[in-house]
Amino acid sequence: MAALVALWFWLTTLTGTIGGGRFPAPGEFWASLLQISGKGYAGATLLNHAWHSTALVVMGFLVAIATGVPLGLWMGWSRRAEALMNPIFLFIRPIPPLAWIPLAILWLGLGDAAKIMVIWFAAFVPSVINAFTGVRNIDRPVLEAASMLGTPRWRLVQEIIMPAALPMIFTGLRLSLQAAWTTLVAAELVGALVGVGFVLNVAQQDIYPGMILVGMVTVGLLGWATTWLLGHVERRALAWNVAARD
């Protein structure tokens, strides 16, 4: 990291190989960071922008978990559910999340609900796919033996299907979280009054490279922090799996 910063300083400040109009120097980045952290930029401070964006991502991500994981588990467990839902899912899956922005605005307006809808769709697809794969990776004889022994459905789900599928489910959740952050920036480019994506949009219009880089770094740090928290939850939830491997 230190070498990267030194190279950045050398190319932009010492030699001027990269002009300030194309990429900000470290001093410009620092000045922009101080500005948005203190007086603010685009109508709010960096803390307020970051908090609002994080809240949108978390809400969209939680809705995706609540809808995508159960749907994936259901499709993976029931052939009838797969036959019913899979054609619909295969139809909507290739549609890019950003393509839903116009409909989201028409249905929900320019407020946060439309942005949450777009984030939800981006995070929904990976959660369905990985939950489905997690169930299908369970050995069929295990499920058949449980059925033959008369295991109630709720115990089958709680004690066999969910523990076996959890590693794949968490893989899907990590992908969903990354997709949510990627989509957030684009969603906030339209109709937003606060948020990191709004900062990037205003900075682009102002031709303010230093502030653009501040916005990009902020998104990267927020994405890293939320992914780290999800990893902590995963380690707690899969402690039995780690102990089994050890």
Query: Confidence class of residue 95 from pLDDT cuts 50, 70 and 90?
Result: confident
Tell me 161's DSSP state: I
Tell me 41's DSSP state: B
Please state, as a whole number, how many other Cβ atoms lie within 10 Å of the Cβ of residue 240: 10
Q: What tens digit of pLDDT does each residue of 196-224 get?
A: 988 998 998 888 899 999 999 999 999 99
Q: Quote the pLDDT of residue 246.
A: 43
Tell me 152's DSSP state: -
Q: What tens digit of pLDDT does each residue of 125-159 get?
A: 999 999 988 888 876 666 666 666 666 666 666 66
Q: Quote the pLDDT of residue 196.
A: 92
Q: Quote the pLDDT of residue 122.
A: 92
For the chain, give the number of residues: 246
Q: What's the pTM value of the predicted model, to 2 decimals? A: 0.86
Tell me 44's DSSP state: B
H-only helix segments in 78-188: 79-92, 101-108, 112-136, 140-148, 153-156, 162-187
Q: Quote the pLDDT of residue 244.
A: 43
